[in-house]
Structures are given as C-alpha cells and as structure tokens.
Amino acid sequence: MGKRKLTFEEALKQLETIAEQIEQGKIGLEESISKYEQGMALVKQCRQILSKAEHKIQQLQPRADGTLETTQFQRPDE
C-alpha cells in the first residue's frame, strides 16, 4: 500500500517542526542533515500543490460591453 500524500497544511506544519528542531539545536548534525532533506522534499511537494491550485484558478476580466469573461490565471511573472 502506498504512502498517503500530505495536504499542503500538513506538509507546512511538518516543515515548521523541522525548522524549529534544527534552529533550536535539539538534534545532532546527522539528524539535522536528514531532516533538511525531508524538508526539501516537503518544499517540493508544497510547490507542486500550489502550482496545481494556481492553474485551476480563473480570473474574471471585463469585456468592452461590461460583461465578464473568465480567463486562465496568469502569474505576474508570465
């Protein structure tokens, strides 16, 4: 059976916990490195979730006649 994917909120909470453990020196160097690797995987997962959500969002744009049309969301850097 495959491992369940974390929700964005669950992944973010785990990231916060990892960062706190590393910053407070509660764990040794080797475990810090392992936690860092876990954190990077969580960051990647969060970015993927956000990217998928972003593509689902649609913007409402006014037409010349005053009605609204939906267009695909465009990131500001595009």
In a domain, 62, yes or no: yes
Q: What is the pLDDT of residue 1?
A: 47
Helix, strand, coil abundance in the chain, percent, nearest 5 = 55, 15, 30
pLDDT value at residue 46: 95
What does pTM read for this prediction? 0.67
Domain residues for 46? 8-72
Backbone angles phi and psi of 70, in degrees to 5: -95, 140
Is 2 within 8 Å of 41 (Cβ atoms)? no
* Number of domains into which the chain is organized: 1
Q: Look at residue 3 and tell me if it is in a domain.
A: no
The single residue listed with the structure tokens 């785990």 is: 14
What pairs with residue 60 in β-bridges? Answer: 70
Write down the pLDDT at residue 13: 97
pLDDT tens digit string along 2-47? 577 899 999 999 999 999 999 998 889 999 999 999 999 999 999 9
